């Protein structure tokens, strides 16, 4: 546990203070520079073990945590459901206890059940990092988004951030709404009412039905992935109509600030929630987000696992 | 051919009157000087109760006079409450099939320890109690065990699949007190209509688990601000209200003994109130947890608070208490649903719904009495007289001629909920580790003590 970040786990943005969040972002700045050096490795977590335990498919989050651990010289092991005992019927509790017996310092967990990261933290002695639990939280995504926005805009306070799309099923939206609200941004959400959770305002956001007014004056446009399976749930009639009414592209972006930036947590459905020209355009922060992801996750692992007194770049 | 003409006196064929520890096996049992609460006669005050050979012979001030000497056991009940034994219309005893969670023996012990002298076992056993053989097995098992009496509910449909009606008349002959597909709702309105009509033919109670499953797919808790914050799929009130409304409409013509199991929403309470005002045949039960807890209890993802229907909001809890006071909700039923750590020590979405309730009901609901939210006599009525009236199970009164099913409570005894204090095999209670006030001291079934603390 570090004085900068007085927590044993990172389970969600809820439970963190604004000061904690700024600590992570400031620490990530240092590691961002490290990742741009010719030798992108520091000995900070030498001898430490990090297990990435992923019960859902993931490319960028898992790779990002893996690289973050490796750049800090930790021993990193990846476990995904297809290769684990879960396919043999092992419970989450048994999987956690088995991994704990191998004495890791950090378990990074992604699980389809909301609350799974908290549950894990109650069952094992090591640090737990939530890499996405059901539709609850995805704190490192919100931290990397905040990092990206702060770099692009120089601040978070006073910004208008519009989150577009499937808020009901999005842990990214929940974590971002909490984080950005705490740091002084005004957060709006927009989408068809079928994709808004009940009592959405409880997330501390302003809720909009239509895209254009929601984008009016926005400094940041955060686009959420729309999933094909929402068609089966009778939540949207077609991807075509969704794209037409809620897709982010040159036409709709006109309502936002001229210097507004566009974020997407990925993977993108080009031509559905985001126009390809916008995804690849100069306002797009998509690749910046990916780069920030490694730095932010290095910061999180450092703050949770480094021995007291260990410098950020020294062993 | 068996006759179905007899009135619904399920109690007339007592499955398990004998057994238990013969603590007070005297011919005459005298309970002296307790606060006697007898909702049937409206009596609430100091009195004696005299039980002779399993039947109450006298009740009132000074009723014990002259009962002394050989063959008379006298119990000093000063400072205690004396009430009719409680009747629970809704328990899950898991036998046959899941005896590691609970079985009929442990379930009946838990019932007696909670002051319940009769319980109705829901049919979601493995296999489902959808035929005479399983009903008979449960009744026989309970008779063997003794203690509190057990009355099974048979399933409404085969396998509780909601398609084909069960042999209700046959199950009634074997001892079933009613029918229910509890755990799932009879979703098909045509099937429900026929179930009501058919059950009415044989004067069987029909207890419905009111849940439109299309509206609750994947639901983990009540739909609302807390579910949104926790990222858990919500169960909207409408899923319950729609089925209550539909069934009340279907029952206008069917005139069955329709009963709403574990009612939880303010809207459903209002509909039952209106239906009763129109003279329709409908009764309803509420669980202790829906009288006490809200969806805020789910913060931190405690799987012990995952129940169906889910814990609702403060306004629903207030509506439940109001509806219990005014009689819209006839009775209290525990929905005692034991689960082992296999079903509960896991992530939320993998957890089975349900909590145990038999042994915590009295201390928890005495809390409502202490807070002035519920009258003592009404509480006892909702636990004994009302469920007896609804189900036809004999009991629920203390007057001369009544069964000697009596409970003696200490309203002030403090105890801690835990492995050492519970009789149930399972510990899935949000009150585990909590100190509660009030306990059942002695439970008599037909004058025999089947539980003593």
Q: Do B236 and A198 touch (CB under 8 A)?
A: yes
Partners of A106 in beta bridges: A50, A127
Q: Determine which of A56, A116, A119 to mutate to test the interface with B (most B C-beta atoms within 10 Å).
A: A119
Q: How far apart are CA B441 and CA B431, in angstroms?
A: 20
Q: Do A93 and B348 touch (CB under 8 A)?
A: no
- CATH architecture, range B23-83+401-452: Roll (2.30)
Helix (H, G, I), strand (E, B) or coil at B173: helix
Q: How far apart are CA B427 and CA B77, in angstroms?
A: 31
Residues from chain B that touch A92, judged by Cβ atoms under 8 A, are 346-347, 350
Residues from chain B that touch A200, judged by Cβ atoms under 8 A, are 228
- Which structure tokens are listed for B317? 């809890």
For chain B, helix, strand, coil in percent to 5 are 30, 25, 45
Helix (H, G, I), strand (E, B) or coil at B36: strand
Distance, in angstroms, between A233 CA and closest chain B CA?
10
Nearest CB to B227; choose among A14, A112, A198:
A198
Q: Do B349 and A112 touch (CB under 8 A)?
A: yes
Contact assessment for residue A304 and residue A50, using Cβ atoms and an 8 Å cutoff: no
Classify each residue of B178-217 as buried b or exposed e, where b means 16 or more C-beta atoms within 10 Å of its C-beta.
bbbbbbbbbeeeebbbbbbbbbbebbbbbbbbbbbeebbe
Contact assessment for residue B88 and residue B45, using Cβ atoms and an 8 Å cutoff: no
Instruction: State the CB neighbour count (10 A cutoff) for residue A57.
Output: 11
Q: Do A136 and B232 touch (CB under 8 A)?
A: yes
Q: How far apart are CA B352 and CA A298, in angstroms?
A: 38
Residues from chain B that touch A91, judged by Cβ atoms under 8 A, are 342, 346, 350
Q: How far apart are CA A266 and CA A243, in angstroms?
A: 16
What does the pLDDT read at residue A29?
A: 97
Residues from chain A that touch B232, judged by Cβ atoms under 8 A, are 114-115, 134-136
What does the pLDDT read at residue A1?
A: 63
Q: How far apart are CA B84 and CA B115, in angstroms?
A: 9
A171: contact with B, CB 8 A cutoff: yes
Nearest CB to A91; choose among B233, B300, B346:
B346
Measured in Å, how far apart are chain B's first and last C-alpha atoms? 46
Cα A113–chain centre separation: 16
Q: What interface predicted TM-score (ipTM) does this complex get?
A: 0.94
Q: What are phi and psi of A131, to 5 degrees?
A: -100, 25
A178: contact with B, CB 8 A cutoff: no
- Which structure tokens are listed for A67? 């690289």
In three state form, how does the secondary structure of B356-406 look?
Answer: CCCCCHHHHHHHHHHCCCCCHHHHHHHHHHHHHHHHCCCCCCCCCCCECCE
Partners of B51 in beta bridges: B29, B56
Please name the fold of domain B87-391.
TIM Barrel (3.20.20)
Sign of CA dihedral B254, B259, B264, B269: positive
Q: Do A92 and B346 touch (CB under 8 A)?
A: yes
Distance, in angstroms, between A137 CA and closest chain B CA?
8
State the maximum Cα–Cα separation within chain B, in Å, rounded to a whole number.
67
Active-site residue, from B182, B335, B405, B410: B335
* Binding-site residues on chain B for chain A (CB distance < 8 A): 220, 223-234, 236, 300-301, 342, 345-350
Q: Do A113 and B350 touch (CB under 8 A)?
A: yes
Specify the residue for token string 């017996």.
A101
Mean pLDDT of the residues in chain B: 94
Classify each residue of B293-304 as buried b or exposed e, where b means 16 or more C-beta atoms within 10 Å of its C-beta.
bbbebbeebebb
Distance, in angstroms, between B159 CA and closest chain A CA?
26
DSSP B306-336: --SSPP--HHHHHHHHHHHHTTSS-EE---B
Q: Do A114 and B231 touch (CB under 8 A)?
A: yes
CB pairs under 8 A between A and B: 70
Each residue's pLDDT tens digit, B11-66: 444 344 444 444 445 589 999 999 999 999 999 999 999 999 999 999 999 999 99
Nearest CB to B347; choose among A119, A135, A197:
A119
Nearest CB to B230; choose among A93, A112, A115:
A115
Q: Do A202 and B223 touch (CB under 8 A)?
A: no
User: B335 an active-site residue?
Assistant: yes
Q: Do B232 and A114 touch (CB under 8 A)?
A: yes
What does the pLDDT read at residue B303?
A: 98
Helix (H, G, I), strand (E, B) or coil at A13: coil
Q: Do A202 and B229 touch (CB under 8 A)?
A: yes
What does the pLDDT read at residue A12?
A: 98
Distance, in angstroms, between B345 CA and closest chain A CA?
8
The answer to whether the bond into A171 is cis (omega within 30° of 0) is: no
Q: How far apart are CA B377 and CA B38, in angstroms?
A: 7
Q: How far apart are CA B212 and CA B128, in angstroms?
A: 21
Q: What is the pairing mode between strands B435-445 and B406-416?
A: antiparallel
Beta-carbon contacts of A26 under 8 Å, excluding residues fewer than 6 positions away, are none
Q: What are phi and psi of B29, to 5 degrees?
A: -120, 125
Distance, in angstroms, between B220 CA and closest chain A CA?
10
Q: Do A133 and B350 touch (CB under 8 A)?
A: no
Partners of B410 in beta bridges: B439
Contact assessment for residue B256 and residue B202, using Cβ atoms and an 8 Å cutoff: no
Instruction: State the CB neighbour count (10 A cutoff) for residue A22.
Output: 15
Q: How far apart are CA B430 and CA B311, in angstroms?
A: 12
**Minimal Cα distance from B343: which residue of A?**
A91
Q: Do A113 and B349 touch (CB under 8 A)?
A: yes
| Residue ranges, chain A, pLDDT below 50 | none
Q: Determine which of B217, B228, B300 to mutate to test the interface with A (most A C-beta atoms within 10 Å).
A: B228
Distance, in angstroms, between A40 CA and closest chain B CA?
37
Nearest Cα to Cα of residue B281 among B253, B249, B258: B258
A118: contact with B, CB 8 A cutoff: yes
Q: Do A198 and B234 touch (CB under 8 A)?
A: yes
| Residues of each domain in chain B carrying CATH 2.30.40.10 | 23-83+401-452
The answer to whether the bond into A267 is cis (omega within 30° of 0) is: yes
Distance, in angstroms, between A125 CA and closest chain B CA?
17
| Residues of each domain in chain B carrying CATH 3.20.20.140 | 87-391
Count of residues in chain A = 315
Nearest CB to A199; choose among B220, B225, B300:
B225
A15: contact with B, CB 8 A cutoff: no
Residues from chain A that touch B220, judged by Cβ atoms under 8 A, are 114
Beta-carbon contacts of A34 under 8 Å, excluding residues fewer than 6 positions away, are A40, A42, A71, A295, A298, A313
**Minimal Cα distance from A93: which residue of B?**
B346
Q: Do A202 and B225 touch (CB under 8 A)?
A: yes
Residues from chain A that touch B229, judged by Cβ atoms under 8 A, are 14, 174, 202-203
Nearest CB to B301; choose among A92, A115, A197:
A115
Residues from chain B that touch A199, judged by Cβ atoms under 8 A, are 224-225, 228
Residues from chain A that touch B345, judged by Cβ atoms under 8 A, are 93
Distance, in angstroms, between B226 CA and closest chain A CA?
8
Nearest CB to B224; choose among A112, A136, A199:
A199
Beta-carbon contacts of B438 under 8 Å, excluding residues fewer than 6 positions away, are B362, B363, B366, B367, B409, B410, B411, B412, B413
Contact assessment for residue B116 and residue B358, using Cβ atoms and an 8 Å cutoff: yes
**Minimal Cα distance from A198: which residue of B?**
B224
What does the pLDDT read at residue A314?
A: 65
| Residue ranges, chain B, pLDDT below 70 | 1-26
Q: Do A136 and B347 touch (CB under 8 A)?
A: no
Distance, in angstroms, between A251 CA and closest chain B CA?
32
A199: contact with B, CB 8 A cutoff: yes
């Amino acid at each position: 546990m570090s004085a900068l970040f007085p927590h044993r786990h990172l389970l969600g943005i809820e439970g963190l203070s604004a000061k904690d969040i700024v600590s992570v972002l400031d620490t990530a700045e240092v590691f961002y520079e490290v990742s741009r050096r010719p030798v992108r490795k520091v000995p900070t977590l030498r001898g430490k073990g990090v297990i990435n335990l992923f019960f859902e498919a993931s490319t960028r989050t898992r790779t990002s945590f893996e690289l973050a651990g490796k750049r800090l010289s930790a021993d990193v092991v990846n476990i995904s459901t297809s290769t684990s005992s879960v396919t043999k019927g092992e419970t989450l509790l048994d999987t956690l206890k088995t991994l704990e017996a191998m004495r890791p310092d950090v378990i990074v967990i992604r699980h389809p059940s909301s609350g799974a990261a908290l549950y894990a933290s109650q069952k094992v002695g090591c640090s737990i990092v939530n890499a996405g639990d059901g539709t609850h939280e995805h704190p490192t995504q919100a931290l990397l988004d905040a990092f990206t926005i702060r770099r692009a805009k120089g601040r978070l306070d006073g910004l208008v951030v519009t989150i577009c799309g499937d808020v009901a099923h999005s842990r990214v939206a929940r974590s971002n709404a909490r984080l950005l609200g705490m740091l002084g941004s005004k957060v709006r959400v927009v989408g068809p009412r079928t994709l808004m959770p009940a009592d959405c305002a409880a997330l501390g956001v302003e809720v909009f039905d239509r895209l254009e007014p929601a984008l009016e004056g926005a400094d940041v446009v955060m686009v959420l992935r729309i999933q094909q399976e929402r068609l089966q749930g009778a939540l949207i009639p077609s991807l075509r109509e969704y794209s037409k009414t809620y897709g982010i592209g040159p036409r709709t972006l006109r309502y936002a600030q001229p210097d507004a930036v566009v974020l997407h947590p990925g993977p993108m459905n080009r031509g559905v929630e985001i126009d390809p020209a916008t995804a690849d355009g100069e306002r797009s922060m998509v690749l910046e987000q990916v780069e920030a992801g490694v730095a932010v996750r290095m910061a999180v692992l450092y703050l949770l696992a480094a021995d007291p007194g260990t410098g950020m770049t020294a062993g | 051919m068996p006759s179905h003409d007899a009135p619904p006196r399920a109690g007339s064929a007592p499955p398990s009157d004998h057994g238990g520890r013969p603590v007070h096996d005297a011919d005459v049992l005298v309970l002296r000087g307790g606060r006697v609460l007898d909702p049937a006669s409206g009596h609430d005050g100091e009195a004696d109760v005299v039980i002779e050979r399993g039947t109450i012979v006298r009740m009132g001030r000074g009723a014990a006079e002259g009962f002394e000497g050989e063959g008379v056991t006298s119990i000093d009940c000063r400072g205690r409450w004396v009430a009719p034994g409680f009747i629970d219309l809704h328990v899950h005893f898991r036998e046959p099939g899941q005896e590691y969670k609970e079985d009929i023996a442990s379930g009946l012990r838990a019932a007696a320890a909670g002051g319940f002298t009769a319980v109705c076992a829901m049919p979601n056993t493995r296999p489902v109690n959808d035929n005479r053989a399983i009903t008979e097995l449960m009744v026989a098992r309970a008779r063997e065990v003794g203690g509190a009496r057990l009355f099974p509910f048979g399933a409404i449909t085969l396998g509780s699949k909601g398609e084909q009606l069960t042999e209700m008349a046959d199950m009634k002959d074997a001892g079933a007190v009613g029918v229910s597909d509890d755990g799932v709702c009879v979703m098909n309105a045509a099937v429900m209509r026929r179930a009501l009509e058919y059950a009415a033919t044989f004067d069987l109670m029909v207890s419905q688990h009111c849940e439109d499953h299309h509206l609750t797919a994947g639901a983990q808790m009540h739909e609302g601000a807390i579910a949104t914050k926790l990222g858990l799929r919500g169960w909207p009130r409408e899923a319950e209200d729609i089925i209550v409304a539909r069934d009340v409409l279907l029952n206008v013509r069917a005139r069955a003994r329709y009963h709403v199991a574990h009612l939880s929403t303010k809207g459903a309470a209002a509909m039952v109130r209106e239906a009763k005002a129109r003279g329709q045949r409908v009764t309803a039960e509420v669980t202790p947890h829906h009288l006490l807890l809200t969806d805020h209890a789910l913060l931190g993802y405690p799987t012990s608070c995952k129940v169906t229907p889910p814990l609702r909001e403060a306004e629903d809890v207030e509506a439940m208490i109001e509806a219990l006071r005014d009689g819209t909700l006839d009775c209290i039923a525990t929905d005692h649903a034991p689960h082992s750590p296999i079903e509960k020590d896991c992530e939320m979405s993998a957890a089975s719904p349900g909590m145990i309730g038999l042994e915590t009901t009295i201390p928890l609901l005495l809390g409502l009495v202490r807070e002035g939210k519920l009258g003592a006599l009404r509480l006892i009525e909702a636990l004994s007289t009302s469920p007896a009236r609804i189900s036809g199970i004999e009991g629920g009164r203390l007057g001369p001629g009544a069964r000697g099913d009596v409970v003696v409570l200490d309203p002030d005894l403090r105890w801690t909920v835990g492995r050492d204090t519970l009789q149930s095999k399972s510990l899935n209670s949000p009150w585990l580790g909590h100190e509660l006030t009030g306990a059942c001291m002695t439970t008599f079934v037909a004058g025999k003590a089947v539980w003593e603390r």
